[in-house]
Chains A and B, each alone.
Chain A
């Protein structure tokens, strides 16, 4: 199939970017929640 490589490259690049961005956001959210919970515990302790 002519130009199938370009089709595969486009879809692979697109979904790789979307999933990488989604994973980045989920990771950032997890770290933030951990930090917030830690700070709240520290403030309660005081």
Chain B
């Protein structure tokens, strides 16, 4: 029942945000129509960072309790976070090309985001080299905790270092009300989508653990 409500809400929010992005929000004066990628990129980045917050918290809880449910949550959140970080980098690159004239530049925020992508890739690579499952989970948890240090760097990059990437405007009063409504709706849509994906991924990971236990049962 809860799942259906969440799915329905997610679907409606996605439709609402698409309507706002393509039919409601006015075109930005300087960048033109391509500026609407903002309503995709910001929610994508937000979802990635939210996911890594879940990884961070679940990793701490796993190390403190050694309960597998926290490892399952951290692993699931890391996978989704990696997917949305990839999306942010791809979409950001598509936006950068017409605006900055390049697909990529080594400016602070982009570089910090790419570093974040590599950190969370490591979350999957390092434990896969360890045969003992419990040790692998502990390694992953450590990466999940230490890797989170890059998240505030990504967030503060445009404030700490001047570069091509624009400085924050959403909560600094630098955005017109129709644009604020559109970005908030898009962020809400992506947040609900995130929780749908997370619930699904956790369910799958839990099933994988159950399957393994069933296979290991004596004949």
Residues of A in contact with B (beta carbons under 8 Å apart): 1-4, 6-7, 9-11, 13-14, 17-18, 21-22, 25-26, 28-29, 32-33, 35-36, 39-40, 43, 46
- B94:A13 contact, CB within 8 angstroms: yes
**Inter-chain residue pair count (beta carbon < 8 A):** 76
In contact, B32 and A2 (Cβ under 8 angstroms): yes
Q: Are B94 and A25 in contact (CB under 8 A)?
A: no
Decide if B33 touches A3 in the complex (CB within 8 Å).
Answer: yes
- Residue ranges of B at the interface with A (Cβ–Cβ < 8 Å): 32-34, 36-37, 40-41, 44, 83, 86-87, 90-91, 94-95, 97-98, 193, 197, 200-201, 203-204, 207-208, 210-211, 214-215, 217, 219
- The distance in angstroms between the C-alpha atoms of A11 and B14, with both chains bound, is 12
Instruction: Specify which chain A residues have a CB less than 8 angstroms from the CB of B200 in the assembled complex.
Output: 22, 25-26, 29
Partner of B91, one of A14, A39, A40: A14
